[in-house]
Amino acid sequence: MADSVGVQIIEFVLRWIHFLSGITWIGILYYFNFLQTPFFGTELGGSAKSAMTRELVPKALWWFRWGAMFTFGSGVLILLMKLGAGNSLDSAYMTRILTGALMGTLMWANVWFVIWPAQQIVIANAETVAGGGEANPAAVGAGGKAGMASRTNTLFSIPMLLFMAAGSHLTVLARDADPPADVSVLPYWIAAFVVIGLVEINGLIGPGASSQKLLTTVSGTIHAGLGLTAVLVLAQIFLI
């Protein structure tokens, strides 16, 4: 009994950290995409962009990337505890959770290995120019790369949050036997990896690609996220 209580407390604390850091991460992601980026495109925002890039953006990115790291780390530990408790990888519950986890992992990787390195170039360039130095030509491309990865993360966040919540609260998505009787999850995972992989590749191929047009606007990004959600939900309904 004592061990069971201890495990439950540990899992609860991990969930609390997961939720708290996740809210921090996604909240700042939405701030960047729904507020800051459109503001920089206005006349007032354009005049304030340099100062904000040098003073506000680095601070926001600190919370942003570490929110992502704590969300990812706590999520991995929760998954390991679930597997250790006997949850099968091919159960409907784990399929839903792992669908969200796959997109969350790509989002984390985009933050640390695409957005943050690119933004370091942008911030350094803003500081150099403000100090009277010459602009770094690579900063424009870096800003576009970071922006497209950020829009891709915003797109992913919509289905990711749905599948995380659906793990325990939307069991009608798929048969909930453990493991599901007479059902293979392989067709679903093939479809999910292809669709999610194509979205990720699209976000990394470089700003300006025609396939990225939808992500150049806030409304387009939201609609793309809702579209991906619908595709994955239908895949779970019909392929599992």
Domain boundaries, the chain: 2-239
Contact 142, 119 (CB under 8 A): yes
What per-residue confidence (pLDDT) applies to 171? 75
In the DSSP assignment, the letter for residue 136 is: P
- CB-CB contact of 155 with 228 (8 Å): yes
pLDDT in tens, 49-58: 999 999 999 9
Q: Among residues of the chain, what percentage have pLDDT more than 90?
A: 80
pLDDT on residue 42: 95
Residue-wise pLDDT tens digits, 94-130: 999 999 999 999 999 999 999 999 999 999 999 999 9
Give the residue from 227, 166, 238 showing the smallest Cα distance to 198: 227
Q: Phi-psi bin for 182: left (phi > 0), alpha (psi -120 to 50), beta? A: left
What pLDDT is recorded for position 3?
Answer: 63
Report whether pLDDT(179) > 60.
Answer: no
pLDDT at 119: 98
Q: How confident is the model at residue 27 (pLDDT cuts 50, 70, 90)?
A: very high
pLDDT band at 174 (very low <50, low <70, confident <90, very high): low
Peptide bond into 117 cis (omega under 30): no
For position 139, what pLDDT does the model report?
96
| Interior/surface letters 133-157, b for 16+ CB within 10 angstroms, e for the rest | eeebeebebbbbbbbbbbbbbbbbb
Please state which of the ranges 3-7, 52-56, 58-62, 150-154 shows the lowest mean pLDDT.
3-7
pLDDT at 1 over 60: no
Q: Distance between CA 190 and CA 177 in Å, rounded?
A: 21
Give the other-Cβ count within 10 Å of 45's Cβ.
Answer: 15
What is the CB neighbour count within 10 angstroms for residue 98?
21
Q: What's the pLDDT score for residue 92?
A: 87
